[in-house]
Structure 1
Amino acid sequence: MLNIAAALEDTRRRELNDEVHARPPDSLPTPCAVTYIARLPRRDPESGVGKDLLGDLLDRFGLERPDRATDHFTTMLGDDRLRWERHTEYNRYTFVAPVDPQDTSSRFQEPDVPADWLEDMQGEVFVAIRAKIVGPEEIDTPIQEISRKCFNGNTLIGSRVADDGGLAVTDMRIHDDGFSRIVLINEKMSEAQTGRVLQRLFEIETYRMMALLALPVARELSPILDEDELELSAVGESLVNAEAHDEQSWLDRLTRLSASSQSRHQRSNYRFAAADAYYEIVLQRISELRETRIHGLQTFEEFTTRRLTPAVKTYRAVSRRQQSILEQIARATKLLSTRIDISRQQQNQSLLASMNRRVKMQLRLQATVEGLSVAAVTYYVVGLVGTLARGIESMGVPLNQSLVSAVSIPIVAGVAFMGIRQLRKKISREDLE
């Protein structure tokens, strides 16, 4: 029989395989009361560390804290069961409390936790829901009666769920105690099914809210993008008739606009991408409810998509506008840079042509100067030769002074020309070195 020893395995195999089994939904008895809190933890600006509310709660009950690397944890707090989970952007606490089957009151039971512990979440609670799970004896209770007893008479949203295994209703409102409310009537679901259905309802609300975090960002960006589009339009119109000496200033203006747009895009892109992911999770969780319509009620799918989809379209439109502006800035910058490069090339060509003309003039002038130099040297040297010939002739040596001077002219001129030429070559070599 083959046996894969641990030494043969990739070190990531077990971790990745166990990931699909991580965080299974709680099995929930009927009846019971469930309190769910999703918290967006804030970090202290000085220490960079957030509140350890889980550790504080466990300390109060004399329980051992989990390892700091733990991302989910379950324990008993007296008669209540606590389930804690850490997600990328939020933590969630689920308290499950037993309910006396004989208790027919309409109240939503609270978890047995210290009130001051809840107060430590000040400013961090993002979703808070109280749910009650009741048995099949409530299945025939009129919707109006459920609304009156549990939801202050508000309009309800709900459906039969889990292929007619039960009925779930809510009013999607935050009540005076700061909690939303859900009633789940279990007709024929197992404890595991009940846990999965309630977790999906909690996650629909949580991820709906997480997706909506992109909406304030989109609303804040919208007027800024209006200004960017006007600025970009003004730059585009000005470039049509821009003079060459103005092009660099327009390029600087585009560069500043690009920098500010890129900065905003980097800050908002994560929020928009996360919202897309959360929206997809909401749709997936709704489909997993396997809803059947209840006459007169909006289903969870109808209510959520009707209210959430416009918000999603809004931030997606803003995201597209932002990307479009960046692309337009890039095109305008490229066009203007090309114009500036062409203008500089033309200037360089004109400069090179001017330099070539000056070099040619210098060469002609140099040749003229060299010719004059040869003539001058020849004139003075021939004069010296003539003076020397007269001196020799005065000593009685028979010399024809004029002939000597005439013969010396080509010789002196040739020597002077070669000497000046060699001197010029030597100077040129030294310049190159």
Structure 2
Amino acid sequence: MRLLPADLPERAALSLEVHARPSEPLAAPGRASYAAVLVDADERERELAHLARLCRTHGQAPPAADAVHWSGLIGGLRLKWERHGEFSSYTLLMAARATAPFVDSAAANLPPGWLAGVPGMTVYAGHAELLQAEDAPALPDLQQQFFAGNAVVGSAVGDGAGLAYSDFLIHPDGFGRMLLVDQGLTPLMAGRMLQRLFEIEAYRMMALLAFPVARRLSPRILAIERALAGLTDDIARDGGRDEKLLHELTRLAAEVESGLSASQFRFGACRAYAELVRTRIGELRERRLSGLQTIDEFMGRRFTPAVATCATVSQRMHDLSERVAQASHLLSTRVDIAREHQNHALLASMDRRAKMQLRLQQTVEGLSIAAIVYYMAGVVGYVAKGGRSLGAPLDVDLFVGLSVPVLALLAFNAVRKARRRARENEAV
């Protein structure tokens, strides 16, 4: 008998999510290569087909159409593919051979041209060497042998279970270089540590995609701020150019919103990736090595200021949008008040004209009563003359004279009734 209610449809998938994308183990001595490739949405199918061809060539089942990660053996390599939000990563692991460091790399053991044929653009690529503690040279020799004499950043990681070194530079082959020395790492710990080191660089590069955007926007923001300051001064002076000022503010608002819509996704991604970098650095559990900067310190000096610049530019854009909106609202309110005064004056003028028209209408009505009486008296005169011609003893002039007051009263009553009916129709 079932002891629980029905499962949430997503329960199984959500439960497995925390176990997805496990790290691949690597024992010392070993080598690894990593590539993060920025892939557009319309290239996702090509990417999957490219990986599927490699799998079939080496007798491996290809990833499913909706897969977001896959791992398997490709010859003597273990290949791990992961699809992230904007980029895909390829991790290659192999046992080390008796060759010079970074010469016989894991990536070099892929079929010729396969990695170069991956759809998209490279964001980060790196090689890593995993050495046993007794095989690691002293720091001066390590710099020459592994990093071409460049300045090295390093620390004890995993609470001292390993030593991690890098110069964080792109070498002539297009790859960065990392060295991990095993001082007690298990193969799974070593695999996780290498993945963290690679991801620090991949996420750092993805975060820094916002930095050129911030640089391009900075002069534009400065120009808009100056223009807004000038418009605000004009608003304060009340020079009678409100309509023109409102047009200029509308143009500035459109320009600010255009900049926001074009940059905010990138700035939001910068914040998210920067947080991932900080998280991965924290997971290294670093301890200082004498004479070397830790990875955390290096990122704090070189990476954090760039992220802060992007955050500042993003905030300036939002603040500028609010300031333009406030200035537009202020000016719109003043324009509306001015228009209300104009409308009030127009209505007063229309009221005066209506009163004048009413007086004129009343005058015309009086004249119309006189005209009606005049024409009606004429009709009465013709009737009286007709009656006298028939032999009636009528004094025509007297009869017409006596009819004039009656006709005037009848005409006045008729006009008054017509005016009353007109008022009643207006009220309806």
TM-score, structure 2 as length reference: 0.91
Aligned counterpart for 1:249 among listed residues 241, 244, 247: 244
Which residue identity is paired with 1:415? L
User: Structure 1 pair 50/264, CA: closer, same or farther in 2 (3 Å)?
Assistant: farther
Aligned counterpart for 2:22 among listed residues 18, 21, 24: 24
Q: Is the 8 A contact 2:39 2:120 kept in 1?
A: no
Q: Hey, what's the Cα distance between the residues in 1 that align with 2:101 and 2:388? A: 150
Correspondence for 1:230: 226
Aligned counterpart for 1:198 among listed residues 170, 178, 194: 194
Q: Is the 8 A contact 1:197 1:289 kept in 2?
A: yes
Aligned counterpart for 2:138 among listed residues 139, 142, 147: 142
Aligned counterpart for 1:382 among listed residues 360, 377, 399: 377
Give 5+ residue unaligned stretches, structure 2.
none
Q: Is the 8 A contact 2:101 2:129 kept in 1?
A: no
Q: Is the 8 A contact 1:108 1:132 kept in 2?
A: no
Correspondence for 2:7: 9
Correspondence for 2:345: 350
Which residue identity is paired with 1:155? A
Q: Hey, what's the Cα distance between the residues in 2 that align with 1:12 and 1:388? A: 105
Secondary structure at the counterpart of residue 369 of structure 2: helix
Give 5+ residue unaligned stretches, structure 1.
none
Q: State the Cα deviation string for residues 326-347 of structure 1 (Å, max 9, x = none).
A: 1111111111211221122112
Correspondence for 2:33: 35
CA apart distance, 1:429: 7.0
Aligned counterpart for 1:272 among listed residues 267, 270, 274: 267
Aligned counterpart for 1:414 among listed residues 384, 409, 412: 409
Q: Is the 8 A contact 1:293 1:299 kept in 2?
A: yes
Secondary structure at the counterpart of residue 231 of structure 2: helix
Most deviating of 107-116 and 392-401? 392-401
Aligned counterpart for 2:150 among listed residues 147, 154, 164: 154
Q: Hey, what's the Cα distance between the residues in 1 that align with 2:179 and 2:204? A: 19
Q: Is the 8 A contact 1:33 1:108 kept in 2?
A: no
Q: Hey, what's the Cα distance between the residues in 2 that align with 1:3 and 1:396? A: 125
Q: Is the 8 A contact 1:43 1:50 kept in 2?
A: no
CA apart distance, 1:279: 0.8
- Pair 1:83 & 2:80 matched: yes
Q: Is the 8 A contact 2:60 2:73 kept in 1?
A: no
Aligned counterpart for 2:62 among listed residues 56, 62, 65: 65
Aligned counterpart for 1:97 among listed residues 83, 94, 99: 94
Which residue identity is paired with 2:32? V
- Pair 1:363 & 2:349 matched: no
Secondary structure at the counterpart of residue 168 of structure 1: strand
Secondary structure at the counterpart of residue 124 of structure 2: strand
Q: Hey, what's the Cα distance between the residues in 1 that align with 2:44 and 2:65? A: 16
Q: Hey, what's the Cα distance between the residues in 2 that align with 1:295 and 1:415? A: 122
User: Structure 1 pair 49/254, CA: closer, same or farther in 2 (3 Å)?
Assistant: farther
Q: Is the 8 A contact 1:147 1:156 kept in 2?
A: yes
Q: Hey, what's the Cα distance between the residues in 2 that align with 1:56 and 1:259? A: 48
Secondary structure at the counterpart of residue 324 of structure 1: helix
- Pair 1:290 & 2:285 matched: yes
Secondary structure at the counterpart of residue 118 of structure 1: coil
Aligned counterpart for 1:181 among listed residues 177, 198, 210: 177
Q: Is the 8 A contact 2:39 2:119 kept in 1?
A: no
- Pair 1:325 & 2:317 matched: no
CA apart distance, 1:287: 1.1
CA apart distance, 1:189: 1.5
Q: Is the 8 A contact 1:41 1:50 kept in 2?
A: no
CA apart distance, 1:402: 5.6
TM-score, structure 1 as length reference: 0.90
Aligned counterpart for 2:309 among listed residues 297, 308, 314: 314
User: Structure 1 pair 48/279, CA: closer, same or farther in 2 (3 Å)?
Assistant: closer
Q: Is the 8 A contact 2:38 2:121 kept in 1?
A: yes
Q: State the Cα deviation string for residues 341-388 of structure 1 (Å, max 9, x = none).
A: 112211211111111111111111111111111122223333543565
Q: Hey, what's the Cα distance between the residues in 2 that align with 1:2 and 1:391? A: 118
Q: Hey, what's the Cα distance between the residues in 1 that align with 2:100 and 2:23? A: 27
Q: Hey, what's the Cα distance between the residues in 2 that align with 1:122 and 1:383? A: 106
- Tell me how large the CA RMSD over aligned residues is: 2.6
Secondary structure at the counterpart of residue 308 of structure 2: helix
CA apart distance, 1:94: 0.6
Most deviating of 405-414 and 305-314? 405-414
User: Structure 1 pair 362/104, CA: closer, same or farther in 2 (3 Å)?
Assistant: closer
CA apart distance, 1:397: 4.7
